[in-house]
Amino acid sequence: MKIYIGSDHAGYELKEKLALYFKELGLGYEVEDLGAFNYIEDDDYPDFIKPVAEAVAKDKGSFGIILGGSGQGEAMCANRIKGVRAAVFYGQEEMKEKNSKDSETFGIIKLAREHNDANILSIGARFVTEDEAKFACELFLSTKFSGGEKHIRRINKF
């Protein structure tokens, strides 16, 4: 499975950790890092997010992980590319209080894959811990699209 990953300065440190984590998992993930390649405080997220989105749209069956401060602008940028369906994950205070990976907080990731066939996960790096981000990515990559007729019909209307 090919994973394209990219981030601006706000998610740079977490991106570096996630890229290494995917390689170390030993699950056969091929990771292509599309930047940023160094921390530059005033860089612009579209410079790194758009190439990830374009790569995922072109490389059917691949996935993208994009990171930024909130993940919102990054998802907006990615979703402008035909064939991309980016979903945002930024955790919740509820998750931090429960400290549980069974929390409904992660349900949004499952639904994004099962119902919307999301192919990019946008992470708000300022709102999640490293462990939450790792778990979110694992869940995203391991959850299959349901293939349900109503979900396919709805996606086709995009």
Q: Whole-angstrom Cα distance, residue 109 to residue 88? A: 8
Catalytic residue of the set 13, 16, 32, 115: 115
- Our answer to whether residue 138 is catalytic in this structure is no
Q: Whole-angstrom Cα distance, residue 85 to residue 134? A: 20
| SS3 call for 90 | coil
| SS3 call for 5 | strand
- Per the document, the length of the chain is 158
Q: Whole-angstrom Cα distance, residue 14 to residue 49? A: 15
Catalytic residue of the set 74, 130, 149, 151: 74
102: CB partners within 8 A, 6+ apart: none
- Our answer to whether residue 115 is catalytic in this structure is yes
Helix (H) or strand (E) holding 23: helix 12-24
Catalytic positions are: 74, 115
